[in-house]
Structure 1
Amino acid sequence: MSGERHKPNDLLKHLPEYGVVICRACSFAVQPQALASHLLKHRIYRNERQQLLDRLSRLALREPEDVPTPASDSPPLRHLPLYNGYVCLASQCSHSCVSQKRMFQHWSEAHDEHDSKKVSARSATLQTFFRGNKIRYFQVNGSIGAATSESETSVRGSTRLQASGKERLKSPSTSGDDGDPLGDLTSPILDVQALRYFRHYTLSPYLIPHRGERESEQFWADTIVEEAYKHQFLMHGILGIGATHSATVALTRDDFQLHRKAATQYQSAGMASYLEALKQPDTTNSTALIAFSRFIGIQRAMSQMVEESYGITAITESDSLSRVFEMFSMFRGTIDLQMNLQHLLPPGSDFMLRDMDIAGLQQSDDLETIERDMLNSTYVPPLLFNSIDALPRRLSEHSVLTDSQEYHAVTQATATLLASAARSYAADSLYGLWNGLDTFTHSVPDHFVRMLEAQHTAALVMFAHWCPLLSRLETHYVCLQDQTRRLLDIVKRNLSPEIATLITDIEQTI
Structure 2
Amino acid sequence: MPAVRSGDSLQSRSATRSKDAPNKNLPSPPELLKYFPIYEILICTACRHAIKPGGVARHLKDIHRLQNEQRRPYTLYASNFALKAPEDVSSPPDNEFPMPYLPLEQGWRCRAPGCDYLCASIKRMETHWPSKHGSKGNPSHDWTPAPLQTFFRGNSLRYFTTDGPNQLKPSSQSLPNASGCIQKMRHSYRLDAVDSLMLEHYFYSSYKSFSKRNQTEKVWLNVVADLASCHQFLIHGILACTALHMAHIYPLQRELYVLRAYTHQDTALPLFRGELEHPTPQNCDAIMAFAYLLVVFSFATELDNGQNSLLLINDTADGPKENKFILPQWLHFIRVGCEMLDQVWEQIERGPASALADAWEIELDVGDSKIPYLEKFMCFIPEDGSWSEKVISVYRDGASILADAFAYMKSETIKPDVSTWNILGLWCVRLDNEFYDLIFVRHPGALILLAWYCVIMKRMELCWYFGGRPARLIASITDALDTRWHPCIKDAADQILGS
TM-score category of the 2 structures, normalised to the smaller one? 0.5 to 0.7
C-alpha spacing 1:467/1:410, structure 2 compared with 1 (3 Å): same
3-state SS, counterpart of residue 191 of structure 2: coil
| Residues 32-181 of structure 1 aligned to structure 2 (within 5 Å) | 168-171=97-100, 173-175=102-104
Is the contact made by 1:207 and 1:478 (CA closer than 8 Å) also made in structure 2?
no
**Partners in 2 of 1:193 and 1:356 — Cα distance?**
32
> Shift in Å at residue 356 of structure 1?
12
Question: After alignment, is 327-336 or 261-270 more displaced?
Answer: 327-336
The answer to whether the aligner puts 1:395 opposite 2:415 as a matched pair is no
Is the contact made by 2:244 and 2:261 (CA closer than 8 Å) also made in structure 1?
yes
C-alpha spacing 1:284/1:355, structure 2 compared with 1 (3 Å): closer
> Shift in Å at residue 173 of structure 1?
3.4
**Partners in 1 of 2:359 and 2:224 — Cα distance?**
25
Cα displacement string for residues 387-414 of structure 1 (whole angstroms, at most 9, x for unaligned residues) = x53334423347663x222111111111
**Partners in 2 of 1:326 and 1:399 — Cα distance?**
36
Is the contact made by 1:423 and 1:435 (CA closer than 8 Å) also made in structure 2?
no
The answer to whether the aligner puts 1:373 opposite 2:369 as a matched pair is no
Aligned equivalent of 2:486: 500
| Residues 254-403 of structure 1 aligned to structure 2 (within 5 Å) | 255-305=253-303, 318=321, 329=332, 332=335, 341-345=344-348, 347-351=350-354, 360=363, 373-377=366-370, 386=373, 389-397=375-383, 401=387, 403=388
Is the contact made by 1:236 and 1:266 (CA closer than 8 Å) also made in structure 2?
yes
> Shift in Å at residue 288 of structure 1?
0.6
**Partners in 2 of 1:299 and 1:433 — Cα distance?**
13
| Residues 430-449 of structure 1 aligned to structure 2 (within 5 Å) | 430-431=417-418, 434-435=421-422, 437-449=424-436
**Partners in 1 of 2:97 and 2:479 — Cα distance?**
40
Is the contact made by 1:325 and 1:453 (CA closer than 8 Å) also made in structure 2?
no
| Residues 195-274 of structure 1 aligned to structure 2 (within 5 Å) | 195-205=196-206, 208-210=209-211, 212-215=213-216, 217-252=217-252, 255-274=253-272
**Partners in 1 of 2:305 and 2:360 — Cα distance?**
36
Aligned equivalent of 1:423: 408
C-alpha spacing 1:347/1:431, structure 2 compared with 1 (3 Å): same
**Partners in 1 of 2:290 and 2:323 — Cα distance?**
25
The answer to whether the aligner puts 1:472 opposite 2:473 as a matched pair is no
C-alpha spacing 1:489/1:318, structure 2 compared with 1 (3 Å): farther
**Partners in 2 of 1:240 and 1:353 — Cα distance?**
20
> Shift in Å at residue 345 of structure 1?
2.1
C-alpha spacing 1:453/1:214, structure 2 compared with 1 (3 Å): farther
Q: Which runs of 5+ in 2 are unaligned?
A: 1-90, 107-185, 308-312
Cα displacement string for residues 239-263 of structure 1 (whole angstroms, at most 9, x for unaligned residues) = 10122223334545xx433322221
Aligned equivalent of 2:183: none
Is the contact made by 2:213 and 2:417 (CA closer than 8 Å) also made in structure 1?
yes
> Shift in Å at residue 465 of structure 1?
1.3
C-alpha spacing 1:321/1:428, structure 2 compared with 1 (3 Å): farther
Is the contact made by 2:285 and 2:353 (CA closer than 8 Å) also made in structure 1?
no
* Partner AA of 2:289 in structure 1: A
Counterpart of 2:477 (choices 487, 491, 497) is: 491
Count, aligned residues: 316
**Partners in 2 of 1:434 and 1:256 — Cα distance?**
26
**Partners in 2 of 1:319 and 1:352 — Cα distance?**
40
Percent of paired sites with the same residue = 18
Cα displacement string for residues 411-435 of structure 1 (whole angstroms, at most 9, x for unaligned residues) = 1111111111111221124348854
Is the contact made by 1:229 and 1:235 (CA closer than 8 Å) also made in structure 2?
yes
Is the contact made by 2:315 and 2:324 (CA closer than 8 Å) also made in structure 1?
no
C-alpha spacing 1:201/1:397, structure 2 compared with 1 (3 Å): farther
C-alpha spacing 1:324/1:348, structure 2 compared with 1 (3 Å): closer
> Shift in Å at residue 189 of structure 1?
5.0
* Partner AA of 1:296 in structure 2: L
C-alpha spacing 1:236/1:374, structure 2 compared with 1 (3 Å): same
**Partners in 1 of 2:287 and 2:359 — Cα distance?**
23
3-state SS, counterpart of residue 299 of structure 1: helix
C-alpha spacing 1:490/1:203, structure 2 compared with 1 (3 Å): farther
3-state SS, counterpart of residue 394 of structure 1: coil
> Shift in Å at residue 348 of structure 1?
5.0
Is the contact made by 1:332 and 1:442 (CA closer than 8 Å) also made in structure 2?
yes
Is the contact made by 1:392 and 1:414 (CA closer than 8 Å) also made in structure 2?
yes
**Partners in 2 of 1:306 and 1:394 — Cα distance?**
35
Higher alpha-carbon Rg = 2
**Partners in 1 of 2:257 and 2:357 — Cα distance?**
39
Cα displacement string for residues 217-246 of structure 1 (whole angstroms, at most 9, x for unaligned residues) = 222111101111100100010110122223
3-state SS, counterpart of residue 229 of structure 2: helix
**Partners in 2 of 1:262 and 1:319 — Cα distance?**
33
C-alpha spacing 1:189/1:448, structure 2 compared with 1 (3 Å): farther
3-state SS, counterpart of residue 354 of structure 2: coil
**Partners in 1 of 2:420 and 2:249 — Cα distance?**
29
| RMSD after superposition | 4.0
* Partner AA of 2:195 in structure 1: A
**Partners in 2 of 1:172 and 1:422 — Cα distance?**
50
The answer to whether the aligner puts 1:414 opposite 2:399 as a matched pair is yes
- Indicate the structure whose relative CO is greater, using CA pairs within 8 Å and at least 6 residues apart: 1
Counterpart of 1:482 (choices 456, 460, 468) is: 468
C-alpha spacing 1:251/1:415, structure 2 compared with 1 (3 Å): closer
Cα displacement string for residues 271-301 of structure 1 (whole angstroms, at most 9, x for unaligned residues) = 1000000011111111110111111111111
Is the contact made by 1:461 and 1:502 (CA closer than 8 Å) also made in structure 2?
yes
